[in-house]
Structure formats: C-alpha cells, structure tokens
Amino acid sequence: MTAAASRPRVAVVGVSSLIGEAVIEELRARKFPCAALHALDDDRHVGRPLADEEGAGDDRRLQIFDVAGFDFSQVDLAFFCGRAVLSERYAEQAAAHAWVIDDSSRIRARVDVPLVAADVNPAALHSIGTRGLVALPGSASVALATALAPLHALAGLVRADVATYQAVSGGGRAGVDELAGETVAMLSGKKARGRAFGRQIAFNVIPQVDALEADGVTREERRLWEETRRILDLPELAVNATAVRVPVFFGHSLAVHAAFERPLVALDAVRVLRRGSGLSVIEADSSAEFPTPATLAMAPGKVYIGRVRADPTRDRALNFWVVADNVRKCAAHNAVSVAQILVNTCR
C-alpha cells in the first residue's frame, strides 16, 4: 500500500519525547487521515502510557511498541522525533519504505536531504517521491526563517544579527524537569543541581546552547546560520548569532536585527509580515502589546512578531522581536504540515 493509494499508515518514533507527544496531539487536532497509527520508542518506554493518554477511551489509547522490532514496510509515513540515536539506527531503514520526517540534528546536517520549514520552503519537497528522508530545521531556525522570508521578498535580505533566548524544553524532558526541580529547591533554600545544562538554570541565563567548538561558536549558533541559509536559499547570507538558554519552559524568543538591499520602512514591513505564512504580528497598540513565551507562545499555531522598528544606527535595517513555541509550533506543527504537503502532493 502507498500513501497515494489510501490514507497513510503512520509511525511516530520517539513517541514518549516532548516532540513525539506533541506530534500525536497535532495529528489528532488536525484529524490527520491515518489508516493506522503506530507509537514507537526504545525498549525503556514500551508499555508506558503517553502523557495525554490517561483517561482516553480505548479508541484513542496508544500502546508503545519497541522500535527495534518494528517492520517499517507496514507504514507509509514515519515521524522521527528528535532523538539522534533513534534516527541514526532506524531512519534510513524506514526511508526505504516510507516518507521519513526527521527532527534530529544528525539528519538535518546532511546536504543531500531536503531541509524544510513548511511555511517557508515547501517547494523543497518537490523532489520527494513516495518515500525518502525529509529533515526538519531546529526550532530557532524555523522561527527565524519564517520571520525573515517575507521581508527578504520585500527588500532583499543581506544580513541578520540575532540573539536567541531558548527555552529549557529545547533540551528535552530533562531540561523541563531540571528547571522545575531547581526552582522548587532554590525556593526551599536548597542548592541547584545544575545537571542538565552544566550549571544552574533556575533564576539564571546561560550564554551557551549545545557544545562550544574550537572557534568559540556553539553548535547551536552554527546550526542556526547554516540552516537559515538553506531554508531561505541564501548561501551567502551573513548570519551572526548568539544562543542563550533562559529559565522558560516553552517558547523560544529571538531579538533580530536585519539589514536589506533596498530601503524599507517599518510600516511596510509590518504590512508584508501580516500576510506572511505562519506569522502573526502583535502591534504596539494591541492589548497584547508584544509577544512573550508565557502568553502568545502558548497559542502555538503561529510565529509571533512584535516591536518592529527601524534600526536607528543603519539605513535599510529593521529591529524586531520573535516568539514561537519551540516544541509545538516549530517542531510538531512543522512536522505535520510537511506530512500534509506530502500526502496532498502525492495522492
């Protein structure tokens, strides 16, 4: 059976991860037409209920099976949800039979695999047939490229300076647990453990996301500029990034300073951003005033932009603020959007 002939048979690999759970929620929220839905993970998670399964009826309850014993010829579409070790072991095997939409850092680094943010470069999927690998960018890259794409079309983007303020959920469930545990401990007069991020994260900011490389750049900063160039198809784009981990559970924030070939004013930028795919502009006179992780990022259907203004130090340049839910919007929503494009295109 192929996805073109019927509703796709779907597997979610790494289903017990934050992204895996969010993909299941997104598939259900969109009523994605699955002929079958397989929940897969490594043997540590077999038999455990998903976080949203408690109290679910029998028709909604999923049983987790061991990915090591799964036959991927049984599916037409597989989501790999961020665990690099599972992608390394099983993604190629699955791609021999199905579309594989992979959210791991290992697959997205491959230049032979399309890197897709559904709101920005869906045309990159045109080379995919009825099976094969598709890589998803990191969450910060999705948010940045989604915001920059309509501005590039308007005025020709030449440079982006960006500081990202990344939620602990970017480090997976361990990061969320660490922030919660440290916060309780410190409010109780105890010391922070500092395990997940190498140092205290509660009531702190850490100017390092992922490992430092020999030139002083972190892997996350390098990924951000490499992925943004690929998504926007601007291989020479100058991207200068600093990635910071902040004590926020969900929602990456970005302070962006963008320079352009052609003149533009903030009013024109806001107009084109309002029409941008996957975007919502929060203007200064609105009740929200500007997006924050604790407010609008929890409504995960959009990348939110606020504080759009001219750069007073440079001509043809803008400053603005971006917030997006890293797990639901930038990862799960993007993954299911890519799947929907594949299904609709190949039917």
For residues 81, 26, 121 and 91, what is the CA-based torsion angle, rounded to 10 degrees? 20
Mean pLDDT of the chain: 91
Residues 346 and 4 sit within 8 Å (Cβ to Cβ)? yes
Cβ of 215: how many Cβ atoms within 10 Å? 6
User: Residue 55: pLDDT band by 50, 70, 90 thresholds?
Assistant: very low
Task: Measure CA 114 to chain center.
Answer: 15
Poorest-confidence range of 4-18, 115-129, 324-338?
4-18
**What pLDDT, in 10s, does the model give residues 149-202?**
999 999 999 999 999 999 999 999 999 999 999 999 999 999 988 889 999 999
Q: What was the pLDDT predicted at 109?
A: 87
CB 13 within 8 A of CB 80: yes
Give the C-alpha separation, 199 to 208, whole Å: 11
Domain ranges of the chain: 9-137+331-346, 140-326
Q: Can you tell me which residue has the tokens 């540590």?
A: 44
Residue the block writes with tokens 């941008």: 276
Q: Model confidence at 80, in pLDDT bands (50, 70, 90)?
A: very high
Q: Residue 43 pLDDT more than 90? A: no
State the Cα–Cα distance between residues 319 and 161, nearest whole angstrom.
Answer: 9
More confident residue, 243 or 53: 243
Highest mean predicted confidence (pLDDT) among 44-48, 62-66, 85-89, 161-165: 161-165
The Cα 173–Cα 186 span in angstroms is 20
Distance, CA of 132 to CA of 128 (rounded, Å):
7
Q: What is the DSSP letter of 281?
A: E
For residue 169, give the DSSP letter: G
Beta strand 132-135 with 99-102 is parallel
Report the pLDDT averaged over residues 29-49.
87
Confidence of residue 230 (pLDDT cuts 50, 70, 90): very high
For residue range 295-331, list pLDDT tens digits in order.
876 666 899 999 999 999 999 999 999 999 999 999 9
Mean pLDDT of 242-269: 97
Q: Cα–Cα distance between 80 and 98 in angstroms, integer?
A: 12
CATH (residue range 140-326): 3.30.360.10
Residues 59-73, mean pLDDT to the nearest whole number: 86
DSSP letter, residue 54: T
Whole-number percent of the chain with pLDDT over 90: 80
Q: Does domain 9-137+331-346 have CATH number 3.40.50.720?
A: yes
pLDDT value for 288: 66
105 has pLDDT over 90: no
Q: Is the pLDDT of residue 268 over 60?
A: yes
> In sequence order, which residues have a C-beta less than 8 Å from that of residue 184 and are 6 or more positions away?
none
Helix (H) or strand (E) run with residue 241 in it: strand 238-245
The C-alpha atoms of residue 345 and residue 151 are separated, in whole angstroms, by 27
For residue 194, how many C-alpha atoms fall within 13 Å in the half-sphere facing its CB? 9
Q: What is the pLDDT of residue 184?
A: 96
- Is pLDDT of 276 > 90? yes
